[in-house]
């Protein structure tokens, strides 16, 4: 059974309450796909409503805590030592197309250090939890990163810059290198779930550039508590500021980092 701190219990309750509306919305998307207006406005409403519910519920339970949220940005709290970092729907494009690969992501910082994490896919009812020093879990199952040691055997996840975003040439160069050296690459469209799947051993590694703190905060702690290594592309723990991230096991971290930096 996972260790559930009082803060993590609060995060679980907030996520489950917000998820009820997302599940209902997800069931209505099929009709929206054929409308002239399309699902974009509907998804924006779902995103902002989910964020509002999460902030409201967490504020009730932890008044004074600050927030960093995707839609609303930074929200200062009286308690300067605690901050929730929230992505209400990580994988919005998947959600908009009726693909059940999206998640609510919540990380909690204490004095600038990640201490609690939750990533919840409401469609599959898979809830990933981590508490600093107490391990990572998928529902009630303890997680460990995969133990593969050979680059040729590993399955790697990433995210591609989409229309209008910078970094496409760099990504394509890195993609070519990884495809040539591994068993395969997957692009599933949710960085939070990609990191959760590294923690659970479904993926052996994940890398992506130009992410936001709410994309990765919870996933960083999950991978670390599952025994993995997380860094930026310089090998430092500056992922939240740089936006660049690589996550894998202890053995593969340096070879994959060198490959992505063109050193192999």
Please write the tens of the pLDDT for every residue from 177-217.
999 999 999 999 999 999 999 999 999 999 999 999 999 99
Write out the E strands in 111-259.
113-121, 126-131, 136-138, 141-142, 155-158, 184-186, 205-208, 229-231, 245-248
Residue ending a domain, among 142, 177, 212, is 142
Comparing 34 with 187, the larger pLDDT belongs to 187
pLDDT at 12 over 70: yes
pLDDT at 34: 43
Give 41's DSSP letter: H
- Assess whether 120 and 164 both reside in one domain: no
> How confident is the model at residue 45, as a pLDDT?
83
| Domain shared by 12 and 34, yes or no | yes
CATH number at residue 223: 3.40.190.80
Q: Is the residue at 29 inside a domain?
A: yes
Q: What is the mean pLDDT of residues 111-120?
A: 98
Q: Quick one: 208 and 159 in the same domain?
A: yes
Task: Say if residue 37's pLDDT is above 50.
Answer: no
Q: Is the domain of 67 the same as that of 110?
A: yes
Residue 111: Cβ within 10 Å count: 9
The more confident residue out of 207 and 40 is 207
**pLDDT (mean) for 145-162:** 95
- pLDDT tens-digit series, residues 53-82: 999 999 999 999 999 998 889 999 999 999
User: What is the spatial distance between Cα 85 and Cα 16, in angstroms, rounded to a whole number?
Assistant: 17
| Residue 32: predicted pLDDT | 58
In this prediction, residues 154-160 reach a mean pLDDT of 96
- Final residue in a domain of this structure, among 83, 107, 142: 142
In a domain, 63, yes or no: yes
* Domain range for 121: 6-142
Output the average pLDDT for the chain. 93
Q: Which residue has the higher pLDDT, 36 or 188?
A: 188
Q: How many domains does the chain have?
A: 2
d(CA 241, CA 151): 28
């Amino acid at each position: 059974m996972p260790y559930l701190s009082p803060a993590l219990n609060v995060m679980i309750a907030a996520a489950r309450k917000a998820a009820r509306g997302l599940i209902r919305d997800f069931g209505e998307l099929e009709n929206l796909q054929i409308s002239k207006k399309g699902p974009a406005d509907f998804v924006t409403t779902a995103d902002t409503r989910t964020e509002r519910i999460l902030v409201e519920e967490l504020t009730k339970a932890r008044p004074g805590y600050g927030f960093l949220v995707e839609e609303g940005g930074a929200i200062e709290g009286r308690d300067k030592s605690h901050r929730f970092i929230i992505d209400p729907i990580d994988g919005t494009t998947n959600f908009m197309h009726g693909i059940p690969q999206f998640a609510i992501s919540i990380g909690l910082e204490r004095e600038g250090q990640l201490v609690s994490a939750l990533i919840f896919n409401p469609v599959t009812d898979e809830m990933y939890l981590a508490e600093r020093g107490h391990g990572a879990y998928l529902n009630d199952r303890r997680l460990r990163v995969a133990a593969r040691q050979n680059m040729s055997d590993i399955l790697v996840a990433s995210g591609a810059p989409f229309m209008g975003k910078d970094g496409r040439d760099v990504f394509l160069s890195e993609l070519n290198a990884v495809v040539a050296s591994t068993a395969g690459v997957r692009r599933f469209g949710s960085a939070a779930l990609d990191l959760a799947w590294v923690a659970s051993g479904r993926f052996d590694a994940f890398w992506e550039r130009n992410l936001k703190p709410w994309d990765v905060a919870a996933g960083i702690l999950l991978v670390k508590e599952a025994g993995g290594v997380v860094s930026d592309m310089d090998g430092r723990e500056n992922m939240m500021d740089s936006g660049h991230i690589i996550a894998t096991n202890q053995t593969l971290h340096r070879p994959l980092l060198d490959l992505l930096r063109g050193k192999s």
